[in-house]
Amino acid sequence: MMITRNFTTKRLMIERLNSILFQQRKDEIFSLYSDSEAMKYSGFGFYSDMNSLEKTFEKYLQKEHFDIWLLITLQENQYVGDISLTYDTNHAFASVACFLKPSHWNQAYMTEALKEVLFSVFVEYGFHRVEAQIHENNSRSIHFFESFGFKFEGILRQNFLLNGTFYN
């Protein structure tokens, strides 16, 4: 099962990524994924060249049980971030990740988008659980997910490898 539909909110088109859309938006995507502040706690760091980003996204686009939605502003037609889900349909479970350009932080874009995606995951697709694994020092992301009702359940010890160091 893939969650194939797109979403529209008051300010955003939330569009499921495919190869064509990636090629159309790759420069905008690179601007986020090459931003050291936005990728600080990502677990994979930031991209310094387009070739590496293209290889990574090609791999993700081929991956089963994984989807990415681009957040595109309706008014400016501008990519501002994305939401990805890794899911297990046998266990009705998903893991979510969110990235947003720092220029759009504190404007509720991600809140608007994640509400739509989570509603679909739970109501339309019948998932029972969604988790977010967050770097222990990423207080902004921890607060964001707590505002959605996510609860701290435990520590995955040394689960993030970042710049040669393991973090919880």
Hey, CA dihedral for 56, 13, 21, 30, is it positive or negative?
negative
Q: How far apart are CA 31 and CA 132, in angstroms?
A: 24
Average pLDDT over residues 15-39: 95
Q: In what order do the strands lie in the sheet with 7-8?
A: 7-8, 12-16, 66-73, 79-88, 93-100, 129-131
pLDDT at position 132: 94
Hunting for tokens 């040669």 — which residue is that? Answer: 164
Q: Does the pLDDT of residue 1 top 60, yes or no?
A: no
Structure tokens at 86: 């890794």
Confidence of residue 2 (pLDDT cuts 50, 70, 90): low
pLDDT at 46: 81
Of 150 and 160, the one with more pLDDT: 150
Task: Give the Cα separation of 136 and 155 in Å (integer).
Answer: 8
| Strand, coil or helix: 110 | helix
β-partners of residue 161 are: 166
Tokens 């502040």 map to which residue? 37
Token pair listed for 152: 């701290």
